[in-house]
Every structure is written in C-alpha cells, then in structure tokens.
Amino acid sequence: MIEIHNITKAFDGNLVVTGVSETIQKGEIFTIIGPSGQGKTTLLRILGLLERPTSGEVLLDGISVTGLPASDPNRRRIGMVFQNPVVFKDSVFHNIAIGLRYRGLPKEEIRKKVLQKLHEIGLSGYEHRNATTLSGGEKQRVSLARVMVTGPDVLILDEPTANLDPVSTEVIEDLIRYYNRVYNTTVILSTHDMIQGQRLADRVAVMMNGRFVQSGTIFTIFTRPCSVDVAKFIGIGNIIPGTIIRNEEGLSVILTHGSLIHAIGTFPVGTKVKIAIRPEEITIHTGPDRFSSARNVIAGTIEKIMPIGIISRVSVKSGDLILLAQVTWQSVRELDLRPGDRVYLSFKVPSVHIMPDEP
Amino acid sequence: MNDLLAGCETAIRLILTADPEVLNITIRTLQITSSSVGISAIFAIPLGAVITFRNFYGKRLLISIIQTLYALPTVIVGLLCYMILSRSGPLGELKWLFTPYGMVFGQTILIIPIMTGLTIAALQGIDPGITDTIRSLGASHLQFLKTHLREARFAIMAAIIVGFSRAISEVGTAVMIGGNIKGHTRVLTTAISLQTSMGNFSLSLALGIILLAIALIINLFMSFLQNR
C-alpha cells in the first residue's frame, strides 16, 4: 500500500503540486489523468523519489520513503518508467540487467531473470542487439522490463505511451496489465489519454492546478464529473448553464435558454448550475417518438453536421439552446439529416449531470 | 618542395631502418605522453564527474575557468613547473627538473583542464532520462557515477584522444622542464625544434611525420575501440 500524505511541491515559489493526499492499495492500477502542465509528472517524480516534496511524505507499507538514499532497500521497491523511452548505449541484455547488477545478484541468476523478461516482452533473441537500434515501442518495452526484472512492489509510469504508435501502445498496455495481474504490482500511471485511463485503471484521479480535483472509479469520473473543467477534460460535449426552477419527486427541473431539462439532483430551487450531457446519450428523431421513455425531449433545427470518422456530431438549435448529438454516419444517411431540418432530441434523466456553476 | 620530399624520404628510411636514435626518442615520447595522459585521466575523469553531479556555489565560474585553461600556453606551464620543480621551488626536493618525471608532471598540468572540461561536457551531454533511470533503479553513488561514465565512454575517449594529441605535440613544457638532453629527455617535438634550429629541415620533417604517424595510429586504435 502506498500512502501519499499532503504532498506539496514548489519550484522557485511557484506551487506545482498542492496538498495531494491519496491511498493506493496493493495491486491496484491507479491512473492520474489531466491536461498537460497540471503537475502530474512532478507528483509522479515525487512518488518515484526522484524529487523531494516541499512538504508532505510518501509511505510505502507504513514506512516513510521520502528522502531515502537511492540504494535503500525500501527505495528499491519503487520502479519508474518515463514518457520518452530510455535505453543505455549498450546491449539489450545489459539494459535489462543493470538494476539487478546494482543489487549485486549472481551472474547466472541475472542471466536467467533477464532472459525470462525478454521472453515476457516478446524480444527473445534480442539480448545481443544494441538497444539504441530498437524502435521506440521496443525501447519502451525494454524500459519496462528493466524495471520489472527488479521485482518492484510499485511501478510508476509517466505517460508511457505518449510517444508511441497505436500498436506499440497496445503492447505496452497489455504488459502493464500482465505485470499487475501476474506479479500483483501496484501501478501508478499518468496519462492525458482518457481512453487509456479507462482501459487500464481500477481507480482514476483527475489532476488540475496541482491537486486531485476528483478521484473515483472511471465510471464515476466519466458520468459524474465534479466540475465544468473536469467535464470539459473528459470530453462531455454539452455543458450548458441553467437554473433550478423546481424540485419534484427527486427530480430537478432546470431552465436553460428557454428549455426545460429534467435531471436527478439535490440543488435547491434558484441555484445557478451547469448541466452536462454526453452527445452519445442524445437520440435524434425526425418526428415525435411516442414510444420513447426519455423524459427530456427538445425540438430544434439542425445547424450543422460534423463528420468525425465513422460518426457524426449533429448540432441542433432550439431557441438559444444549442445541443450536440452523436449519431453514426449510417444514421445520418438513413434519416437523411441535413442542416435546416426540424428534428427532436431525446435523452433520459440519468444522462443529465448537474454541476455547481463555478466561475 | 624538395625539402618536403626529402623529409618524407628520410622519414621512411628512418622508420624502415629502425634508426636507434629515432627509435629511442619515439619510445621516450610515447612513454612520457602516455604516462601524462594516464595520470591526467585518473584525476580529470573523476574530477569532471564530481563537478558535473555536485551542486556548489561558483560551479559555472569553475567550469569557465577550466575551459579557459584549454588555451594555457605551454611555455607558461613550463615556466610554472620550472619554478615549482627548481631546487628552491616547493617540489625541488623531488629533483624532477630535467628528468622525464618532470616532463610528465608538466604535461599532466597542461592537459588536466582539457580532459576535465571535456569530461564535464561529455557527462552534461547525457540524456536527463538516463540519469533519472539510473536513480530510479536504486544505484548507489558509486554505481551512479560508474554508469554515467560508461554511458559517456565514447565522448570521454575523445577527451583522452584530445589530451594525448595536446601532450604529444607540445614543445614548450618539454623544453623548459626536460631541457632536451640527448638520450635522457629528448622527445620528438624537442628534437624537431633542435634539428630545425640546426638547419636540418628534412630530418625535422621526418620526425614530424613520425609524430603524426604515431598520433594517427593512436587515433585509429581509439576509433576501433569506440566502434566495438
């Protein structure tokens, strides 16, 4: 178990990490997501003991590891892989063996462990190759194996696939999952790729302005963002201001740009709020749908249709309210959707998330 | 042009006939230069590593001073060493003046700044990701330094080559500390200087060609090591 106690880091008086606290359980994959420049790398460098916090400490199974010398046995229980693949100007074998050599293991044991790791990362037979001649993805696999061969309890990865192609990214993600499941290694990973967070994480924290603004399961973060900034970051296309005008039977009715939207909420009447609705949750009809169970139905006119790969985003205007709906390219053709068409948008009450209206 | 051709011809003849005097001077040159380079490396490489990885007040100034000393005139080093090694100097009791030991001492002083500065440049050129990786793998202080030096080995080898080239080609220190005593402290550069002053241009040129040939062989050997 790794405990982060009120970590703060300032560079030249500028706070980069502000009072971050969290407990990460043994064997958990904990992902930190957030835009670039929000302190993710600095926090990970503190957890990887490459940077000393200005205040606070990191505990590993109850033992403070902050400030320990690099060769301390407890310090050596934490391994780190960086964004840019790092290899030494040496053979692949030497690259993977180096951490074991630091630990003074016998040659034969080193050889056995290195060959096993080469097999795990799919680079058997590469041991004599010069590591600098490998591709970016292969180098990152070597970087991962170099850490994992030392058997760390905690694996820290700072945007490990940020510079890799999709195929290499998938290989690295598979390896991360493999090491987590087979060796029960605790994984702390940062990424600005939300989908990667979704694919890998047991739990996610969103880091903004040097602090964890929200943490929880990926489902919570993706469906119940705590703020407009988080909602924007996770890609919720519709974030609309409104006012609670009524609360009835556990539902709030929100007035937004002249339209009424129903949502589950507990904000008092009169509260100014922001509502978030994923375009994927909105269904588009060319006429009123009598069979739909959706409570929210808004009639409007198509403003524009924006194709994004095999899907299309349809912008619909209803009075001053503009909503984005997401449909497949096939649906656009079948419904013969065109700008200027009159359509009906429907979405269910749980699809609407109410957030406090922040400046 | 005739002198040049004659010089080449003489050089080939001296090499092929293994002229005892030239052989003696060449071996002494190699002994003195390689000793200076070896001793300098022992001091300069760890010193360069310490300066690179330690943070201290005046570090930038110190590096600038070291880099300035690349241009140290050999006669100034010779003069300083002469004063240090002369009977009344602080190391006079060693009686190294006009001995090969004194010449090694002088050349070492001359090339330590170059080798230190180039070691610093070599280590500073290492990708910061390598440093982070070494630290995160739990290296001790000694392992940290050794891995960095290994990583920068090609650039450090280049520093050694530059130090060797500077030492083998310098004449100021060799003359002032060694005194160009035949059979004792005469090296290729001092012999060239002497032969030139005596008007034996072709012999001077021949010795110069031999000196360059040695430098070429050493460089080729180092390149071979780098490519391995």
Query: How much is the pLDDT for B39?
Result: 97
Domain count, chain A: 2
pTM here is 0.83
How close is the nearest chain A Cα to the Cα of B133, in Å? 7
Q: Inter-chain contact B136–A80, Cβ cutoff 8 Å? A: yes
Query: Which domain CATH number covers A30?
Result: 3.40.50.300
Which residues in chain B are contacts of A78 at CB distance < 8 A? 136
- Whether A100 and chain B come into contact, CB under 8 Å, resolves to no
Query: How much is the pLDDT for A359?
Result: 60
Q: Which of A186, A202, A226 is the last residue of a domain?
A: A226
Q: What span, in angstroms and rounded, lies between the C-alpha atoms of A200 and B20?
A: 76
The chain A residue lying nearest B134, using CA atoms, is A99
The chain B residue lying nearest A150, using CA atoms, is B137
Structure token pair of residue A218: 């990926």
How close is the nearest chain A Cα to the Cα of B220, in Å? 21
How close is the nearest chain B Cα to the Cα of A155, in Å? 11
Domain containing B144: what range?
2-227
How close is the nearest chain B Cα to the Cα of A79, in Å? 6
Q: Is residue A231 part of a domain?
A: no
Q: Inter-chain contact A79–B133, Cβ cutoff 8 Å? A: no
In the predicted model, what is the mean pLDDT of chain B?
91
Domain count, chain B: 1
Q: Which of A172, A195, A226 is the last residue of a domain?
A: A226
Residues of chain A with pLDDT under 70: 289-291, 359
Name B208's bridge partners: none
Residue B186 main-chain phi, psi, to 5 deg: -75, 125
pLDDT at B1 over 70: no
Query: How much is the pLDDT for A291?
Result: 67
Other residues' Cβ atoms within 10 Å of the Cβ of residue A126: 20
Q: Is residue A104 part of a domain?
A: yes
How close is the nearest chain B Cα to the Cα of A98, in Å? 8
In this prediction the ipTM stands at 0.83
Q: Inter-chain contact A71–B140, Cβ cutoff 8 Å? A: yes
- Whether A102 and chain B come into contact, CB under 8 Å, resolves to yes
Which of residues 56 through 95 in chain A touch B, CB cutoff 8 A? 69-72, 75-76, 78-80, 82, 84, 86, 88-90
Which residues in chain B are contacts of A153 at CB distance < 8 A? none
Q: What span, in angstroms and rounded, lies between the C-alpha atoms of B122 and B114?
A: 12
Q: Inter-chain contact B137–A72, Cβ cutoff 8 Å? A: no
Q: Inter-chain contact B150–A90, Cβ cutoff 8 Å? A: yes
Query: How much is the pLDDT for B14?
Result: 80
Query: How much is the pLDDT for B17?
Result: 85
Does A170 lie in the same domain as A269?
no
Residues B137-156 have pLDDT tens digits of: 999 999 999 999 999 998 99
Q: Is residue A294 part of a domain?
A: yes
Residues B158-197 have pLDDT tens digits of: 999 999 999 999 999 999 999 999 989 999 999 999 988 9
Domain containing A309: what range?
236-356
The chain B residue lying nearest A77, using CA atoms, is B138
**What distances in angstroms separate CA A114 from CA A9, A111, A154, one per listed residue?**
37, 5, 19
Q: What span, in angstroms and rounded, lies between the C-alpha atoms of A245 and A270?
A: 6
Q: Is residue A257 part of a domain?
A: yes
Structure token pair of residue A157: 């990865």
A50, A84, A88 ranked by CB distance to B135: nearest: A50
Query: How much is the pLDDT for B190?
Result: 93
pLDDT at B228 over 70: no
How close is the nearest chain B Cα to the Cα of A221, in Å? 31
Q: Which of A191, A226, A261 is the last residue of a domain?
A: A226
Query: How much is the pLDDT for A92?
Result: 96
Does A195 lie in the same domain as A49?
yes
Query: Which domain CATH number covers A322?
Result: 2.40.50.100
Query: Which domain CATH number covers B206?
Result: 1.10.3720.10
Does A149 lie in the same domain as A42?
yes
Does A246 lie in the same domain as A326?
yes
Which residues in chain B are contacts of A147 at CB distance < 8 A? 136-137
Does A251 lie in the same domain as A153?
no
Query: How much is the pLDDT for B151?
Result: 94
Does A280 lie in the same domain as A169?
no
Q: Inter-chain contact A146–B137, Cβ cutoff 8 Å? A: yes
Closest CA to B168 of B219, B94, B116: B219
How close is the nearest chain B Cα to the Cα of A76, in Å? 5
A70, A78, A90 ranked by CB distance to B139: nearest: A70
Q: Give the best residue of B136, B141, B153 to mutate against chain A (max A CB count within 10 A).
A: B136
Residues A320-359 have pLDDT tens digits of: 889 999 998 888 888 888 899 899 999 998 989 998 887 6
- Convert B148-185 to b/e letters by CB count within 10 Å (16 or more is b): bbebbeebbebbbbbbbbbbbebbbbbbbbbbbeeeeb
Q: What span, in angstroms and rounded, lies between the C-alpha atoms of A163 and A161?
A: 5
- Whether A98 and chain B come into contact, CB under 8 Å, resolves to yes
